[in-house]
Structure 1
Amino acid sequence: MAIIRESIDVDRRPEEVYQYVLDAPRMPEWQLSAVSAERLDEGPVGIGTQVRVSRHIGRRVMPLTMEVTEYDPPHSWTMRGIDGPIRARVHGEVEPYDEGRRSHVTIDIDFEGHGLGKVLVPLVVRPQVRKELPRNEQLLKDRLEHTGE
């Protein structure tokens, strides 16, 4: 199946957008399905950083562990699921424009199902994410532009 991709322009500098997006405890502020998120390790964010995210998937809340596999601030990042029946691969890019005062944010998401996840990914997860990702990006934009975060 095809990668789910959405983009949005944010009236904030790429450094600010990148820092906010990769701040694990803030994920529930702009990701509708995220119930909670926490770092599983200490120190600066980088390749190998792990985050436990509890998400609404359909009617259930499922904990999933994500690991940073690409970290190129403030330009791009990739995280991949390392456990559970539904394993996401999320790639994000933040491109500067307007002389670096604004950002064009693109997020790509794809999934791999394991066990029960092989059924859940096409029937529940992909349709949910297709609806949610544009709303998440709008929440990201609103949060960064209107709250001064």
Structure 2
Amino acid sequence: MPPITSTIEIACPPKEVFAYATDPGRFAEWQSDVAGVRIHGDRPPGLGTRFTTTRKIGRVEYRTTQEITDFRPPMSFAAGSVDGPLRVNATISVEPIDGGSGSRVTFTLDFHGRGAGKLLMPDVFGRIAASRAPQSHRNLKELLERGTYSGPDQRRRGAAGGAEHPS
């Protein structure tokens, strides 16, 4: 299956969009299929950070560990799966528009199967992701433009939908 790419425009500066959209601890706030995220280690997310995401697909929960492979605020982020039969590489690119007061955000998901996962999984999960991504992107846009998301300090104190951070 070819990579899934989509682009949205958000009426917020790139720095704010990048900080929110690329923080794995915030994924459950805007990605409708994310049930939770556990960030490995105790440092803020950045290059080399690993995190485990639990996604709910129908009645099934699917966990995968990813590593941040590109982290160049406020422009470029990438993370790739490091385990499991289904591997996904995800990128988020943010570019300024409207003199820097807005952002054009491009998301790309590229699915690959390993072992038995090569047979069916990339196509099945790719189709599911393609159908769910537009709603997640609308959620992101709405949260950022309305300013209705909690600050990072609230998330770290255990706000609903936030990440688990080891103490």
Is 1:100 aligned to 2:100, yes or no?
yes
1:87 match: 87
Moved more, 126-135 or 64-73: 126-135
CA distance in 2, matches of 1:85, 1:56: 17
CA distance in 2, matches of 1:131, 1:59: 17
Asked whether the 8 Å contact 1:54–1:62 carries over to 2, the reply is yes
Identity, % of aligned pairs? 34
Q: For residue 28 of structure 1, give the secondary structure of its aligned residue in structure 2.
A: helix
Residues 116/143 of structure 1: CA separation in 2 closer, same or farther (3 Å cut): farther
CA distance in 2, matches of 1:109, 1:26: 18
Matched ranges for 1:1-149 at <5 A: 1-118=1-118, 119-122=120-123, 124-149=124-149
Shift of 1:99: 1.1
Greater share of strand residues, 1 or 2? 1
Compute the TM-score of the two structures, normalised by the length of structure 1: 0.93
CA distance in 2, matches of 1:3, 1:147: 31
Asked whether the 8 Å contact 2:37–2:52 carries over to 1, the reply is yes
CA distance in 2, matches of 1:103, 1:68: 22
CA distance in 1, matches of 2:71, 2:23: 13
Asked whether the 8 Å contact 1:57–1:125 carries over to 2, the reply is no
CA distance in 1, matches of 2:58, 2:127: 10
RMSD: 1.3
- Provide structure 2 residue ranges, at least 5 long, that are not aligned to the other structure: 150-167
| CA distances 1:37-89 after superposition (whole Å, capped 9, x unpaired) | 12112223221111110012353101110100011100011100001121110
Give the 4+ runs in structure 1 shifted more than 3 A.
none
Compute the TM-score of the two structures, normalised by the length of structure 2: 0.83
CA distance in 2, matches of 1:57, 1:121: 14
CA distance in 1, matches of 2:105, 2:116: 32
CA distance in 2, matches of 1:100, 1:45: 24
- Provide structure 1 residue ranges, at least 5 long, that are not aligned to the other structure: none
Q: For residue 100 of structure 2, give the secondary structure of its aligned residue in structure 1.
A: coil
Asked whether the 8 Å contact 2:22–2:92 carries over to 1, the reply is no
Shift of 1:117: 2.4
